[in-house]
């Protein structure tokens, strides 16, 4: 009996999956996920490398990473509360907007010194819960709760496949065009995520 039920569940999901792949919202959410994961990976990997161009204190840079990690953990709860009050779409637009502005202006942080840089990095880390807080909620609201985990896995898969591509792209841009161009590209990706979010019904 249990085996029959398992088979039926799998068949139902396969039918749902075929319908899913025909829906515009699935592809929009996948693009938003990619546009959110890319800046996350960039900041997480390169914040210390860029910081070393004008901050000689490695201890302070390590402190930035620790504080930013704590901000990220706390922001997951705060973003969840904001999403409950607003909606997944408005929350995603808010986070992507903040992320885009901070990335575009990150190149100016050396003029403000170490503390300014810490504030910018912590602000960016505060926007990272978008992928694991907002997108699962969006999946549940758009596609229903029956296959939320499976569909979120499919959306997330699109972004994880890009993890192999982004480091190569980032290294090429940074070495060829410098930090400012790298920040602009990363901010533009985040901005595209905002545009895609606007198209989700």
Q: What single string gives the DSSP state of each residue in 154-165?
A: HHHHHHHHGGGT
Give the architecture (CATH level 2) of 28-198. Answer: Up-down Bundle (1.20)
For 97-154, the pLDDT digits (tens) are 999 999 999 999 999 999 999 999 999 999 998 888 899 888 888 888 877 888 888 8
CA 146 – CA 69 distance, rounded (Å): 33
Model-level pTM greater than 0.95?
no
The pairs formed by 41-50 with CB atoms below 8 angstroms and a separation of 24 or more are 41/163, 41/166, 41/167, 42/166, 42/170, 42/182, 42/186, 43/121, 43/124, 43/125, 45/167, 45/170, 46/170, 46/174, 46/182, 47/121, 47/124, 50/106, 50/179
Can you list the residues of the chain whose pLDDT is less than 70?
Answer: 1-16, 161
Residue with tokens 């960016």: 124
The closest alpha carbon to 138, from 200, 56, 72, 180, belongs to: 200
- Gyration radius of the chain over CA positions: 19
pLDDT at 8: 37
Given this model, what pLDDT does residue 158 score? 74
């Amino acid at each position: 009996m249990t085996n029959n039920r398992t088979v039926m569940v799998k068949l139902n999901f396969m039918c749902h999956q075929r319908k899913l792949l025909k829906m515009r919202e699935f592809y929009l959410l996948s693009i938003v996920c990619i546009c959110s994961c890319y800046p996350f990976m960039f900041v997480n990997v390169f914040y210390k490398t860029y910081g070393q161009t004008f901050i000689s204190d490695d201890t302070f840079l390590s402190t930035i990473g620790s504080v930013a990690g704590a901000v990220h953990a706390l922001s997951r709860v705060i973003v969840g509360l904001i999403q409950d009050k607003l909606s997944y779409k408005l929350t995603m637009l808010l986070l992507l907007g903040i992320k885009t502005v901070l990335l575009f202006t990150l190149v100016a942080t050396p003029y403000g010194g170490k503390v300014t840089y810490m504030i910018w990095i912590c602000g960016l880390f505060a926007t990272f819960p978008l992928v694991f807080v907002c997108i699962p909620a969006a999946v549940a609201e758009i596609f229903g709760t029956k296959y939320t985990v499976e569909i979120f896995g499919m959306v997330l898969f699109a972004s994880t496949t890009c993890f192999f591509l982004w480091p190569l792209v980032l290294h090429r841009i940074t070495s060829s065009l410098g930090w400012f161009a790298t920040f602009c590209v990363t901010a533009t990706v985040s901005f595209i995520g905002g545009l895609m979010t606007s198209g989700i019904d």
